[in-house]
Structures are given as structure tokens and as C-alpha cells.
Chain A
């Protein structure tokens, strides 16, 4: 199938359990075409992080396991690899909550991303300069201790660190969590730039449906461990259900929770 080689990531009907008991994913299938940005959307606990960790094989460290289905990355199936092997294959996950090394400086954090590559000092500096062209703000703060930088800067550190591993594919877990709207836009601009200029394929998990879809090519919406809806980002943005449930917009215009309650009580009364 010519289609399969066009996808860098192909998840087929995976089921994930934690501690052999708790079923976190029932049935998730998704594809990431090479060089594209795909958004994975859903509320808290829908299974976004679990899906990403299944791909990066970070599940094992949380006592989770893929119990059914298959994951294919770059033509190879993933099952027994360790996270560091996945990094070697060019797949890097940026974990939820940024997870910078707080006691290391900003620059040490970024350099640590190149750990898996055998680079000389000169090569590292060259890579570093290239990374700084995307993250200009980090260059100014290169000598500060990472724990004392702002939330937005920490997110940039986490992405810059992942980029130092020279990934073919990035998994971003809620990159805009807790950030001000201006910073959300800045982060997404950088992500788009990395995607177009460096050719990195991206799978990103987000709760911020609107911004995520506007910056993606394709989207999947999952709920309680199942894919409910998928389509091109444009079609999802125009979808009535998505508008109503995730963007808070109905055909009649903006809608808030009180309006929904009022509607419900009206339909009850009429029954």
C-alpha cells in the first residue's frame, strides 16, 4: 500500500491498560502523515497522554501496557523498544508539564537533548546556534537556572531540548497548558516553523481545541479512550458538534452553560 509509506506513524486499534486492570484506551486508531501536524483533542482523562506515551514507549514507566492493536512508526512496529531507543529512531516526546531539569542552566538543559547523539563540542555548538534561531528568547537566558524561568520559557526549553535530539517526529503533550494567550500563539508559531523548516512531523495533544486546530492539518477527537471524530482541521473547525461541544459556539451564536441548562429544562417541560 503506497498509503502506509506516506504515514510516519500509524496506530491501529490500540487498547491500553494500567496495572493490568485499568482500561485507559479502548480503541484508538490514528495516522500521522509525513511532515504534517496532527492534533489529538479531548478533555482531561480522555486518553491523550496515554496515546502519546504508548507511542514513545514511556508507558512502561507508569506500569501501563499496550494490550491490543499495533503501532507502526516509520515502517517498523513498536513493541519492545525502550524510550532511549525510540529517541535513537528519531521519535521524541515532550512530556506534559514541561519537566525541565530545574537545577541545570537553560543551555545545559538544551544540550542534554543531544545526549543520544555522538557529537563533538563544535557540532553541539553549531546545533545550539541553529536551535537558538527558533528560540531567540532562550539565548538571552542561556545562563539562568531553568527552574527560575517562566512557564513559557520552560515550555520552549522542553521543545528546544527535544529538537537537539534531531527528531523526525515530535510528540507534544499539552504544550500550552497554563500559558497566557500571547505565549500560546508564540509557542504554536515556533511549532509551525519547526514543522515547515525542519520537516518534523508532529502529533500534539491539546485541550485548547481552537488554537490547536488552527495550527494543524488534521485532527482527532477522543473521549473516554475512543476516537469519536476525525477529519481535516478545517472540517473539524466547521463541524457543528465540535463547535458546540469543544468551541462553545452553536448555530445561534455563542452559547454558555446557562443557556444549555435553560434549553434542557424547556425540553423536559415539553415532554
Chain B
């Protein structure tokens, strides 16, 4: 009985921590959704592009870890700058659907550029943190929990605190929330949309880099990261597209349920249900709570 409970705890905690990895990816989507009201289909490609560049700087040019990370982050700011200038500004007055399609195109461009520049083979990324159980926790609590999962959880927590402070207490954060509410009204009082867009896309790029590092360390830096990022979709549906806490909680819920379901219900379906179980959960949310758990309700005075 105790063993079973411990096993359940292990599955649950492992799932929750793995969920923070989804949350990290989802954060990037939320940032852009807040400012442009668009689902950024190129977020997965940004994850792939940024972490491949990071590996490339380290492995092809022998640049030290920290410097390579800073360079990759700067590169993502440049990508944000180019995106604003070449894609978003010409589409400034286009409909949201048009911008959505443009992000799909942008995704392909980034995937192609990344592979042209750094090659197509799978790269190993070593963060110096192993993806195996922490001995201390295994000995004392009898739980097998990966050090990488714990690290990802800490990083996710730091990023949320950072973004929360940025949005709530800085001038640019106020501008960003104003644009998210009503871009037309924001521009009528002199909030320059292009600066806000640049900031948001750069921030989403850096978030993509962090998420890419976590996933790359676990699964190898490879093209599959692009599709993995789409796992963020059910996370966003559950958490709400425009909410940063929502991205986190959504990620935790997805991580925990997919692992628990895989272990306890999976065998009845012949296993491997964690691939689709999150989407089933997402459908239920779409039916009964379409704005997600934390999504901003559309406030309308009657």
C-alpha cells in the first residue's frame, strides 16, 4: 500500500515537474498573444532556432557556455527586431488572421535558416545538470525525481516572477498591458506600438531559448523540438491564452495528468496515451470553459 502511494507520488511529482517544461514553452506564446492577439505558430521554430544557435556557438566556435547563452539571447533580440520590421509592421493594419498566417511562414523561415546555418544532425546539450534522479531525494523520500526537472521548475518560477514584476511595475509593462487591451486606444495616446512589439517578440525569443535549453538537454537539440512546442497548445487552452499564471498552471495540469493517465489508464489503450490525452483534456475545457482557468474573461457591460 505504502509502495503504491509512493509510486503514485513519484508519477505525480515527475509529471508536475515535466509540466513546468511545457509551461516554459507556453510562456512564449502568452507573451505574443497578449500583445498581438495572435497565436504565434513560429514559437516552436523559435525554440529550435535559438537553442540550435546556442549549441552552434558553443560547439562550432568553442565559445564558453555563458557567453554563448548571451550571444544566443542577443540573436533572438535581432530576430525579434527583424520580425517587427519585416513582418509585423507591413501587416500593421491587417486582420489577426493574416498575422496568424504570417507566423506560420515565419516558422518555416526560422527552421530553414537554423538548419542551413548549423546543420541537421541531432546535437547534445549538456547544461551540467543530469537528467537522472537526485540521490538525496531518492534516499530520504524514496522518490525518484530528475535533477533536470527540479532545475526546470526553479527556472520557470524565476521567469514568472520576473515577467510578473515587468508587467506590473514598469512603464513598458503598463504600455504592454494597454496595447493588449486596446491597441487602437493605446496608439491614440502615444504608446508606440512598434516598441511594444519589438519588446514582446524579443522577450518571447529569450523565453524560447530558455525552454529550448531545458528540452534540448532532455531530448537532444533536434528538429522534433518544433513539434514538441505545439504541446503548449493544450496548456494554453487550459490555462488561458493571455495569462502568465495560466501558462504555468496549465503546464502543471497537463504534465501531471498525462503522466498519471499514462501509468494508470494507458495499459487499457495499449500505452502511449500521453501523446493525445492532453488534447482530450483540452477539448473538455473548450466545451465547458473556453477562456481557460485564468484567461481574461471578455468583460462586457450590459
Query: Chain B contacts of A93 at CB under 8 A?
Result: 188
- Asked if A103 and B181 make an inter-chain contact with CB atoms under 8 angstroms apart, the answer reads yes
User: Which residues 130-177 of A sit at the B interface, judged by CB distance below 8 A?
Assistant: 145, 147-148, 151, 161-162, 164-165
- Interface pairs (9), CB distance under 8 Å: A60-B93, A92-B188, A101-B181, A103-B180, A104-B178, A111-B174, A115-B174, A116-B189, A162-B189
Chain B nearest CB, measured from A6 CB (Å): 26
Query: Chain A contacts of B299 at CB under 8 A?
Result: 102-103, 145, 147-148
- CA of A86 to CA of B93 in the docked complex: distance in angstroms? 19
Query: Chain B contacts of A100 at CB under 8 A?
Result: 182, 185
Asked if B104 is an interface residue, CB under 8 A from chain A, the answer is no
Classify chain B's interface size. Answer: 20 to 34
Chain B 96-138 interface 0/1 with A at a Cβ cutoff of 8 Å (1 = within): 0000000000000000000000000000000000000000000
Of the candidates A86, A112, A165, the one having the most CB atoms from chain B within 10 angstroms of its own CB is A112
How many residue pairs link A and B with beta carbons under 8 A? The number is: 90
Instruction: List 17 other contacts, CB 8 Å, given A111-B174, A115-B174, A148-B299.
Output: A56-B188, A58-B188, A83-B187, A86-B190, A87-B189, A87-B190, A92-B190, A101-B182, A102-B181, A103-B296, A103-B299, A104-B178, A112-B174, A115-B171, A115-B178, A116-B189, A165-B190
- Asked if A58 and B93 make an inter-chain contact with CB atoms under 8 angstroms apart, the answer reads no
The total of chain A residues at the interface (CB under 8 A) is 36
- Asked if B181 and A104 make an inter-chain contact with CB atoms under 8 angstroms apart, the answer reads yes
Chain A nearest CB, measured from B298 CB (Å): 9
Asked if A69 is an interface residue, CB under 8 A from chain B, the answer is no
Query: Chain A contacts of B180 at CB under 8 A?
Result: 103
- CA of A79 to CA of B187 in the docked complex: distance in angstroms? 17
Query: Chain A contacts of B218 at CB under 8 A?
Result: none
Residue in B184, B189, B193, B301 whose beta carbon sits within 8 Å of that of A147 in the complex: B301
User: Which residues 184-241 of A sit at the B interface, judged by CB distance below 8 A?
Assistant: none
**Chain A minimum-CB-distance residue to B196:** A115
Top 9 A-B pairs ranked by shortest CB distance? A87-B190, A116-B190, A99-B185, A101-B181, A147-B299, A84-B190, A84-B192, A83-B187, A115-B191
Q: Given A83-B190, A87-B190, A147-B301, decide whether A101 and B178 contact each other with a Cβ distance below 8 A.
A: yes
Chain B nearest CB, measured from A219 CB (Å): 24
Residue in B171, B175, B187 whose beta carbon sits within 8 Å of that of A58 in the complex: B187
User: Which residues 183-208 of B sit at the A interface, judged by CB distance below 8 A?
Assistant: 184-193
Q: Given A87-B190, A147-B299, A147-B301, decide whether A104 and B185 contact each other with a Cβ distance below 8 A.
A: no
- CA of A148 to CA of B297 in the docked complex: distance in angstroms? 13
- Asked if A108 and B188 make an inter-chain contact with CB atoms under 8 angstroms apart, the answer reads no
Chain A nearest CB, measured from B180 CB (Å): 8
- Asked if A116 and B177 make an inter-chain contact with CB atoms under 8 angstroms apart, the answer reads no
- CA of A145 to CA of B301 in the docked complex: distance in angstroms? 12
**Chain A minimum-CB-distance residue to B242:** A103
Residue in B171, B174, B188 whose beta carbon sits within 8 Å of that of A83 in the complex: B188
Q: Given A103-B177, A104-B177, decide whether A161 and B189 contact each other with a Cβ distance below 8 A.
A: yes
- CA of A165 to CA of B178 in the docked complex: distance in angstroms? 15
Asked if B92 is an interface residue, CB under 8 A from chain A, the answer is yes
Chain A nearest CB, measured from B275 CB (Å): 36
Asked if A76 is an interface residue, CB under 8 A from chain B, the answer is no
Q: Given A99-B184, A102-B299, A162-B189, decide whether A112 and B178 contact each other with a Cβ distance below 8 A.
A: yes
Chain B nearest CB, measured from A202 CB (Å): 16
User: Which residues 40-75 of A sit at the B interface, judged by CB distance below 8 A?
Assistant: 56, 58, 60-63
User: Which residues 142-182 of B sit at the A interface, judged by CB distance below 8 A?
Assistant: 171, 174-175, 177-178, 180-182
Query: Chain A contacts of B186 at CB under 8 A?
Result: 101, 112
Asked if A113 is an interface residue, CB under 8 A from chain B, the answer is yes
**Chain A minimum-CB-distance residue to B193:** A84
**Chain B minimum-CB-distance residue to A145:** B299
Asked if A14 is an interface residue, CB under 8 A from chain B, the answer is no
- Asked if A95 and B175 make an inter-chain contact with CB atoms under 8 angstroms apart, the answer reads no
- CA of A115 to CA of B170 in the docked complex: distance in angstroms? 11
- CA of A108 to CA of B180 in the docked complex: distance in angstroms? 14
Chain A nearest CB, measured from B289 CB (Å): 19
